[in-house]
Amino acid sequence: MATPDFTPNEMMTIAAARALKNDDVCFVGIGAPSAACNVARLTHAPDITLIYESGTIGTRPDVLPLSIGDGELCETALTTVSVPEMFRYWLQGGRISIGFLGAAQLDRFGNINTTVIGPYDKPKVRLPGGGGAPEIATSCQEVFITLKQAKRSMVEKIDFYTSFGHGEGGDHRRRLGITTKGPTRLITDLAIWLPDPETKEFTVVSLHPGVSRDMVQETCGWTVRFAESLEETPPPTELELGTLRDLQARTEKAHGGSKTKSAAPAGASAGA
């Protein structure tokens, strides 16, 4: 059977979806994280619990939300709680296994900037800010990040620390008293990255079909480390690709043909 054609963004979304398990409780970001989480729910993880920052728990949207305030989330949720309860009881209480975030800037240790590009006092670009992402990055048991690769987004040094990843690497999180794992997976449109067990620097462990090492390095602002045993990401199956495209088609129809962010990496945080 021939492998269906797919785009790099579709490969990124599906690779991210595969990382989720049926028993996960996932704090979902808008954009690519939302698409990935719902593809997982509609394929191999039907019992996954999806939580959005607005307080919706166990939501099962038929179309992708445009924001955390989208009525689709509340209408399809098991329950909706207040935002303070969401953060204090669910998130800071350690009840969420996976936080799914996007980034405007990311460094090799998984630190995220979604605040400003350039100096804070006189920025070149003022970004949406952190929303709930800083708390998600420290309180979820682990964090997955999705990002479209480009030198302007994958940088040697981020301009502002919005969400703490592994800091300077190594045991920096532990030295600050943070007991959660932090970023454990980076899924881009070109590759899958995992943090080195000791240094915590993100390392490429799998290249997506048709992607070379040079392509990864050319779109990254630091010197990329590759695993000794480098794998190739399995291409999307017909089920995975069909599920994602059907979800996007329903979303486009529901929003009157307006441009959605369902296949694009989230620009900021779970609340972006």
Would you please indicate which residues are annotated as catalytic (active-site) residues?
53
Among 75, 80, 13, 79, smallest CA distance to 43 is for 13
Whether 263 contacts 241, CB under 8 Å: no
* Sequence-ordered alpha helix ranges (H) in the chain: 8-18, 32-42, 71-75, 83-85, 133-139, 172-175, 213-218, 238-254
Buried b (16+ CB within 10 A) or exposed e, 100-120: bbbbbbbbbbbbbbbbbbeee
Instruction: Give the whole-angstrom CA distance, residue 39 versus residue 263.
Output: 12
50's tokens: 């999806």
Nearest one of 155, 166, 177 to 110, comparing CA atoms: 166
CA pair distance 85, 215, nearest whole angstrom: 44
Give the 3-state secondary structure of residue 30.
coil
Residues 6+ apart with CB under 8 A from 197: none
User: Residue length, the chain?
Assistant: 272
Comparing CA positions, the residue from 15, 180, 190 lying closest to residue 98 is: 180
Per-residue burial over 211-237, b if 16 or more Cβ lie within 10 Å, else e, is beeeebeebbbeebeeeeeeeebebbe
